[in-house]
Amino acid sequence: MAKRKRQLTEAKIERMIKEGRGQGTEKDYLPWLKIQDVPSEGRATRGVGWTTGRRHELMSDIERDYCYLLDYSDNVSDIREQFPLLPQEETLLIAEQLGIDHPRDPKTGVPIVMTTDFLVTSNERDFARTVKPQSEMEDERTIAKFEIERIYWETRHVDWGIIIDTDLPDELVRNIEWVHKEYHNEDVEALGPFTIRNLEQMLAVRLDNGEPISKACLACDERLGLELGTSLALFRHFVARKKWSVNMNERIIPTLPAKEFKVITPEYRYEAKGG
């Protein structure tokens, strides 16, 4: 298979703009960069977001983990990753005023359209965040590019900041990751409201009595004649939807009881985040 050509040209930039890259909001937003456009740092992912309902183009583990936290927040209403700093003339001028070399394609020499990892809407206000590993924070070239970014957003009166991997609460992130893919669980509609309600009530009683999660889920599967694993998937679904509450700051271990288990919404409703 032929390798994808990633060299940047002015014609390619114009084409990306015409495609709508970096434009739109929520489900209609189109990131400036897609996974296939650049070499990824770590494991690139395209997870479907709870908040936007679309697949996110996440270039590294830290971007994925930060996106989990944004998705979990009740205050966040939009997440736009790989957001372009356009028009490009602005970042070129900022770099010139700072005496910094603007990032360029190493092969063509064409100035690269700079991006901010995340532009987030929270409580009807936007903030911009760059996420990077701690290991990059002492690199002078990286810091120089951060300064271009900072000034770009400052001129727009948008709060900008840097998130490093050590800033992220690992236990919370891993718990969100564990429940994340079950947010949209097809079993909810397939099984029907009567079965879901019975499962919900039966499982909640067992968990509230301190029974280990996996044991309680297995008992419900057997009692209701469900395929093994169905109740555990729905436990994750209820937690993801925040219908049920557990201590998300301590690692959820299925062989142990659910810590600080609580039913938030006693009657199940199938709805999107913020609905």
Residue 121 belongs to a domain with what CATH number?
A: 3.40.1350.10
DSSP string, 112-175: P--EEEEEEEETTEEEEEEEE-GGGTT-HHHHHHHHHHHHHHHTTT-EEEEEEGGGS-HHHHHH
127 with 29, same domain? yes
Helix axes 140-154, 88-98, angle to 10 degrees: 120
d(CA 58, CA 46): 6
157 with 187, same domain? no
Q: Tell me the pLDDT of the chain averaged across its residues.
A: 92
Pairing of strands 262-263, 244-245: antiparallel
Q: Is residue 272 part of a domain?
A: no
Q: With residue 200 as reference, give the H or E element that holds it.
A: helix 187-208
- State what percent of residues in the chain have pLDDT above 70: 92
d(CA 251, CA 176): 10
Query: How many domains are there within the chain?
Result: 2
pLDDT digits (tens, 9 = 90+) for 178-228: 999 999 998 998 999 999 999 999 999 999 999 999 999 999 999 999 999
251 with 152, same domain? no
Q: Band of the pLDDT at 2, cuts 50, 70, 90? A: very low
State the CATH number of the domain containing residue 223.
1.10.10.10
Pairing of strands 159-164, 125-132: parallel
At 38 the pLDDT is 77
At 36 the pLDDT is 85
Amino acid in the structure at residue 90? E
Residue 3 has pLDDT above 50, yes or no: no
How large is the average pLDDT for residues 229-241?
Answer: 97
At 45 the pLDDT is 74
Q: Band of the pLDDT at 40, cuts 50, 70, 90? A: low
Residue in 80, 87, 70 with CA at minimum distance from that of residue 28: 80
69 with 160, same domain? yes
Contact 179, 237 (CB under 8 A): yes
Range of the domain at 66: 10-168
Residue 42 has pLDDT above 70, yes or no: no
Contact 32, 22 (CB under 8 A): yes
pLDDT digits (tens, 9 = 90+) for 156-169: 999 999 999 999 99
146 with 234, same domain? no
- How many CA atoms lie within 13 Å of 157's alpha carbon, on the beta-carbon side? 1
pLDDT digits (tens, 9 = 90+) for 77-129: 999 999 999 999 999 999 999 999 999 999 899 999 999 999 999 999 999 99
Tally of CB atoms within 10 A around 8: 20
Q: Band of the pLDDT at 62, cuts 50, 70, 90? A: very high
Amino acid in the structure at residue 48? V
